[in-house]
Every structure is written in C-alpha cells, then in structure tokens.
Amino acid sequence: MKQISKPANSTYFLAWSDDGTRHLGITNPDQVTSTGQSNLTFDSDPEAYLTAIKDIEITDLPPLPVEGEQVDRGVYQYGEVRLVCRQAHVRTHFTPEETPALFIVQQVGSGVLPWIAWEAVVKEDLFKTPPVEASLREYQGVTYKCIQSHTTQPGWTPPAVPALWLAQ
C-alpha cells in the first residue's frame, strides 16, 4: 500500500494502476491518504501537480462551478484549460485567468498553443515518469519552447524574457 503521511502543507496526489485507473485529489495538512493503486505521485506545488496530470483527459475532471457557487480546492476543467483552485471561495464573475491568486491555469492540448497570461508552463523533463514535453506556445506568429518552468504574466511575453523561452 502506498500512502501520503500527514504532510505539513496541502499535497496534491495522483494514484494510478497498471490498467489506467486513476484517482486524483488533495491530502490536507496532518491527514493521511492511502491507496492500493500501484503508482502514486504527489507534490505540494500546484504547478508541479498540473505537470504530473498533464496527460489526463480534461473531460475526466469536474467542471468549474458557475458564478455564485462554492469552488473547493482541487482540479477542474474550464473551457479548454485545466486549473487548480488554490483557495476555496464562492465563484465570482471574474475568470480564472483574471484571478491568479485563486487559480493556476494550464491549457490542454498537444503541439503549439497560443501564449496566454497566468498559465503554468513547463520545460521538458524526459527523466520524469511519465516524461514531460516542453510547453510550446505561439506569440505574434513565432513558436517558442519553454526552457524554464514558470507561470506566465502580462509583460513576460516570450520575446521580452529570453531566459524563459527559446524561439523555434
């Protein structure tokens, strides 16, 4: 049996078996999560967690609650993005992209996607299990490869921050 034992901080987990059965969630501080699944990965960093679940179909995630409803900490689908709710709250009319203190956003899809602000992007890591492909984003007609994992911000466009992006 695999387990997460009483973490000091909230810890996001993904457990899966060889047949592809998956369970994801959050272990709260001072709680224990146990699983009979053959594999378990977990991280207290929500951006690293999004990277770990990058291959999960967005349709397998619950939809983000609508305005006026309670949004609990966890992972949701929202249009063409998956996101982690950092803090439980009642959903307002602001989009997740407009409220980075509440959400971490990650676009879903393979290949080159458009660059957007407030998205968690990742650099390539072929040594992870499963391997992680670098985020490829298009900005003003140019394709860029993420060379340093980070959360994009307005003004931190690929040509403005060459330490984070490499033109392809």
- Distance separating alpha carbons of residues 149 and 26, to the nearest angstrom: 22
Three-state secondary-structure class, residue 96: helix
Q: Which is nearest to 85 in space by CA: 22, 135, 69, 55?
A: 69
pLDDT tens digits along 72-119: 988 899 988 888 898 899 999 999 988 989 998 888 777 899 999 989
132 — phi, psi (to 5°)?
-115, 125
pLDDT, position 130: 64
- Distance separating alpha carbons of residues 134 and 149, to the nearest angstrom: 9
pLDDT, position 78: 92
Q: Which stretches does DSSP call E strand in 44-164? A: 70-71, 74-78, 81-85, 89-90, 103-107, 112-114, 120-121, 136-139, 142-146, 150-151
Please tell me whether the overall predicted TM-score, pTM, comes out greater than 0.85 for this model: no
pLDDT, position 160: 97
pLDDT, position 30: 92
Q: Helix and strand tally (H, E) in the chain? A: 1, 16
Question: For 21, how many CA atoms within 13 A lie in the half-sphere containing its CB?
Answer: 6
pLDDT-flagged residues of the chain (< 70): 128-131
* Domain residue ranges in the chain: 1-44, 45-167
pLDDT, position 129: 64
Record: fold of 45-167? Seminal Fluid Protein  PDC-109 (Domain B) (2.10.10)
Longest Cα–Cα distance in the chain? 49
